[in-house]
A and B are shown apart, each in its own frame.
Chain A
């Protein structure tokens, strides 16, 4: 049971917009810790997509955006492309666990 909860799967057609939620609690996101997002294609290295809840590293398309409010965060992907088909993880810090934590991951399927 992860401290951060994500939906197991989401899907969308090419060109559509999807969002992936990351729900935490008062000891992680609600405590003010930032949320970071990663894209992971099986067999490759996880790729940083969003850091500091809303910032994109250079090279990440502006189709990807992040937001945070209260004890939750979201990753939005617009203009879905086939290459977006991957697993997505949120990550933060939890002060009751004294540990960095990942969400359980969300499998995005581009139909």
Chain B
């Protein structure tokens, strides 16, 4: 049974940093990419970044590029999202989700298992 669980959310002041963790189980972690998706209050889903299964693919949304970095520890089936220079616009629920490739095109990922999310609030 696949399980995905985020942790590390909280309240942080503007300009501050926070690190989220995403622990997964129930599948071979080293064979899957993991994505981070957030939802700001009253807004839709926004893709943020990917932790590719082999570490070879680095992409981030323009809104977080240069501020958010992702890393993974395959021995612990865990992905980390390091968030720096946070602004109030970064407030929201942060989900991690397993990326499942469809067909032969590597970027044809869909997100089949999601965590409940970690709430991040950036406020003074």
Contact of B109 among A46, A93, A102, A103 (CB under 8 A): A93
Write out, one digit per residue, whether chain B residues 51-65 have a CB within 8 A of any chain A CB (1) or not (0).
000000001111000
Instruction: Describe B's contact surface by its main secondary structure.
Output: strand
Interface size in chain B (residues, C-beta < 8 A)? 27
Q: Decide if B44 touches A46 in the complex (CB within 8 Å).
A: no
A100–B95 CB distance below 8 A:
no
User: Is B116 part of the contact surface with A, judged by Cβ < 8 Å?
Assistant: yes
Chain A residue at minimal CB-CB distance from B100 = A51
Q: Is B111 a contact of A45 with CB atoms below 8 Å?
A: no
Interface bits A66-110 vs B (CB < 8 Å: 1, else 0): 000000000000000000000101010101011111111100000
**Which residues of chain A have a CB within 8 Å of any CB of chain B?**
2, 32-34, 36, 38, 40, 45-46, 48, 51-52, 57, 87, 89, 91, 93, 95, 97-105
